[in-house]
Structure 1
Amino acid sequence: MNSHLMQHLSWVDYHQRILGDEAIVLLPCGALEQHGPHLPLGTDALLSSAVALDVAREVGGIVAPAFNYGYRSQPKCGGGQHFCGTTSLDGNNLSQMTRDVIREFARHGVRRLALIDGHYENQWFLTEGIELAMRDLSQQGTRTPPLRVVRLEYWDFLTEPTLAKVFPEGFPGFALEHAAVMETSMMLHYHPDLVSTDKIPDDRPADFPPYDTYPARTGWVPLSGVLSSARGASAVKGALLAQEVAQRVAAALRAEFSDLS
């Protein structure tokens, strides 16, 4: 079976792909987090998985099952933990899960691994897990582990010309784009059946102070959980975003892993 999904492969086919074909393994990383009244709780994992599959088609890669839980939602980029349905991990648990999975991929013989992150808050805990796994592998007898890992946030591959087309009135920044035009457009492209366009709120962009408080000030966050309006989102914009991300991520991975051939 010529599938890009790891869970659809037999262990024999998977073994051949990673050792014989030297396929890149892509690990989507998301969260279970509120995304307003119009998007599903699984948006981050759904989008990182869809992006990973697009990239896998470009590079002949394999997409591993996604991390569906992520680090705790923060008010200024995800709305916060007070919304029903948001179900999160402590940072150490996410790091240790990342560490375990990477060590397992290394045991399989994977040499090229890319973590495709779709949840803003995950970044440093994924990084910690990668660092710990690489240290573990180094201590097993080789100075430089045969595995190379890339961690990326897919939105960082969007260019200013594309963002200008998607946001003709100005780009509010990735943190405020939670459940807004970018994510809603990409969901309309990948999973239109999961988007309730009639429920898109029309809140003004959230206005946060330049500091955080603990306990979190839930009153800072719009009641809808959306940090910037998704009005103006469309499947056409989602296709534009998805195409650029897939092509540019694929090019970056080809370049990064080229010397391992």
Structure 2
Amino acid sequence: MSTVWMNQLSWMDYQSRIKNTAPPIFLPVGALEQHGPHLPLGTDGLLSASVAADAAALVGGLVAPTLSYGYKSQPKCGGGQHFCGTTSVDAATLIGSVRDAVREFARHGATKLVVLNGHYENQWFLIEGIDLGLRDVGAGSQLEVMRLEYWDFMTAETLAHVFPDGFPGFALEHAAVMETSMMLHYHPSLVRLDLIPNEGPADFPPYDIYPSRTDWVPPSGVLSSALGSDANKGRLLANEVSQRIAEAISKGFRTPTLIKNSQ
């Protein structure tokens, strides 16, 4: 069966792919978090899985089911925990989930695991989960793990095209042009362009206060304007990111991976 989705395979088909082609296994990680009035709560997981599927198609990989609950939303990059629908986990929970996944994929005989993050706040806890999982499987395991955030594969040239008036930075791009455009490319039926708020970028001080100051965050939860989003920008970003991730996978692991085709 030809598919990039691991959960569409039987266990025997999956085992055959692992043994015969040693595919990179992609583990998308997202969050259930508000993304303004115009994007769905699952945006981070939807985008990480979609990017993973595009990259997997290029390198003969498989995409595991997404880890859809992420670390707690922070005001300066996700709006914070006070929004209805934002459903987060403690650091230990996320670390444990990633640790278990690393251990299980090693048990399957996988040699290449790509943890593809789509939620800004997850980063350090993914690192800890990977570290502990590799410690569990020991030095004799053949598994290598690559961790990445898909937005790091966007070039300055492309960002200048997408943001002709200046790029506000990835933290403030929460539910803004980048994510909205990519959702218009991958999941257009889930985007409500008519509900995009007309708000300027959030203005945060250079420190944090706990409990978090909810009045720092725009009421919509959008940290920078999403006006100007379109599917063409999303396609440009998605194609560049998936191609450059495939290139990183092709040379980043000990065993080279061939890029099967190009977009």
Please classify the TM superposition score into its range, dividing by the shorter chain length.
Answer: over 0.9
Match of 1:241 in 2: 237
Match of 2:7 in 1: 7
**Coordinate RMSD, CA, aligned:** 0.9
> Does the 8 Å contact 2:26/2:62 carry over to 1?
yes
SS at match of 1:115: strand
Q: CA deviation at 1:258?
A: 5.2
Unpaired stretches in structure 2, ≥5 consecutive residues: 258-263
Q: CA deviation at 1:257?
A: 2.2
SS at match of 2:113: strand
Provide the rounded CA distance (Å) in 2 between the counterparts of 1:108 and 1:260.
20
Provide the rounded CA distance (Å) in 2 between the counterparts of 1:26 and 1:183.
20
Provide the rounded CA distance (Å) in 2 between the counterparts of 1:18 and 1:254.
17
Match of 2:77 in 1: 77
Task: Find out whether 1:68 has 2:68 as its counterpart.
Answer: yes
Deviations 1:187-210 (A, max 9, x none): 000000000000000111000000
SS at match of 1:259: coil
How do 1:108-119 residues align onto structure 2 when only pairs under 5 Å count? 108-119=108-119
- TM-score norm. by structure 1 comes to 0.97
Match of 2:132 in 1: 132
Match of 2:24 in 1: 24
What one-letter code is carried by the residue in structure 1 that aligns with 2:222?
V
After TM superposition, what 4+ stretches of structure 1 lie above 2 angstroms from structure 2? 257-261
Provide the rounded CA distance (Å) in 2 between the counterparts of 1:144 and 1:176.
42
Match of 1:36 in 2: 36
What one-letter code is carried by the residue in structure 2 that aligns with 1:28?
P
Provide the rounded CA distance (Å) in 2 between the counterparts of 1:99 and 1:28.
14
Match of 2:45 in 1: 45
What one-letter code is carried by the residue in structure 2 that aligns with 1:168?
P
Aligned residues: 257
Q: CA deviation at 1:101?
A: 1.0
- TM-score norm. by structure 2 comes to 0.96
Deviations 1:210-234 (A, max 9, x none): 0001000000000000000000000
Provide the rounded CA distance (Å) in 1 between the counterparts of 2:98 and 2:254.
24
Q: CA deviation at 1:127?
A: 0.5
Task: Find out whether 1:146 has 2:142 as its counterpart.
Answer: yes
